[in-house]
Amino acid sequence: MRWFARRLVFYVFAIWVALTLNFLLPRLMPGSPIDGLLEHLSPAQLAANPGIVQTYEALLGGGHHSIGQDYVTYLHRISHFNFGLSTSNYPTPVSEVVGRTLPYSIFLVGVAFILSFVIGTGVGMVAAWRRGRFTDSFIVPAFMTVSAFPAFVLALVGLYFLGLKAGWFPIQHAYDSNVIPAWSWTFISSAFRHAQLPILVIIAAYAGGWVLNMRTVMINTIGEDYVGMARAKGLRDRRVMTRYAGRNAILPPLNGFAAQFAGAVGGLVFVEIIFSYPGVGYTLQSAVLGNDYPLAQAILVVLSVCVIIANLIMDVLNFVLDPRLRTS
């Protein structure tokens, strides 16, 4: 219980640091949220409404306040999930924009990253157990070669060859243009079909790291005495590989899951831009280019908190799976 309390305090502090950095970064960028609104107005409209800048500042909660007052107001709003109004989608609330885009990214990264972890650790475990055979000699190098390329390069290659040339997958957006988003089989099947190629790209980009990590740890684990004892008892190879060697070898890769997840979230922006996939990464790019600071801040908060929560979940899983932590 004390271990969990210490970790919880650490992650609460990490969330506070992330929120503080998120508050400071937009204020160091050129321009202001008002600029994004004024871009939609003609010179004639600006001349006819001389007080429109002050009006927009009041609507967005701005004004001539000290940075300390702005910071307190910012934390108060965040605690009530009030991110203000989106200037690029004015007057739509930021929470509504994030609520529309976040489910697509959660589905995309969640499914792709879990599959890459399962496939990578599975292939690495089999390759280490059967060293020198087909899986170790051909499958592992293939995974490593593909994973050597950045995710956005694989996205461009997949888009061109599998989407445009072969026509196996849709090449843009999250669903067909004639489909209305709803909890219906038509929409769900269309969304799944459009997500297949981005998911395949993310798996190809990150599975190789899990393969190499799991293979390395598994080779060291196979030499342990308890694995040799299990073999001497006459247990089946599959059981020894999974229940004895694999169960212990998976702990180090599991510890690195959250760190790799943070990298996948960062690469998500480029993948969504290439596929015009309307997730938070694509929306973040549009918000930054349009000086929509409230929307950009909200997305950065959501991404930061997701990564921190992923780290917390991995810590808890590691605590449950590793008895050494419970006895320390």
**In the chain, what are the domains?**
94-290 (1.10.3720.10)
What is the rounded CA–CA span in Å between residue 182 and residue 104? 13
Q: Over the range 167-178, which residues count as b (16 or more CB within 10 Å of their CB) and which as e? A: eebbbeebbeee
Per-residue pLDDT tens over the stretch 186-215: 888 888 888 888 889 888 888 888 888 888
Per-residue pLDDT tens over the stretch 86-125: 777 666 788 888 888 888 888 888 888 888 888 988 898 8
With beta carbons less than 8 A apart as the criterion, state whether 36 and 88 touch: yes
* β-strand partners of 282: none
With beta carbons less than 8 A apart as the criterion, state whether 279 and 105 touch: yes
DSSP letter for each residue of 177-197:
TT---SSSHHHHHHHHHHHHH
List of E strands, 184-299: none
What is the rounded CA–CA span in Å between residue 303 and residue 285? 14
> For 271-300, what is the mean pLDDT?
82
What is the rounded CA–CA span in Å between residue 240 and residue 254? 20
Selection from 183, 202, 186 nearest residue 275 by Cα? 202
Per-residue pLDDT tens over the stretch 52-71: 556 555 555 555 556 777 78
What is the rounded CA–CA span in Å between residue 152 and residue 157? 9
What is the rounded CA–CA span in Å between residue 299 and residue 105? 11
**DSSP designation for 85:** B
Cα three-residue angle 219-225-228, rounded to 5 degrees: 75
Per-residue pLDDT tens over the stretch 124-162: 888 888 888 888 888 888 888 888 888 888 888 888 888
Q: What is the pTM (predicted TM-score) of this model? A: 0.76
* β-strand partners of 85: 93
Per-residue pLDDT tens over the stretch 233-283: 877 888 888 888 888 888 777 777 766 777 777 777 788 888 888 888 888
* β-strand partners of 93: 85
| Cα dihedral: 175, 82, 74, 311 (round 10) | -50
- What are the C-alpha distances in Å from 92 to residues 95, 212, 283, 300? 9, 46, 14, 18
Selection from 315, 323, 205, 200 nearest residue 255 by Cα? 315
**DSSP designation for 132:** T
Cα three-residue angle 199-202-207, rounded to 5 degrees: 120
Tell me: pLDDT of 180 over 60.
yes
Handedness of CA 177, 181, 184, 185 (dihedral sign): positive
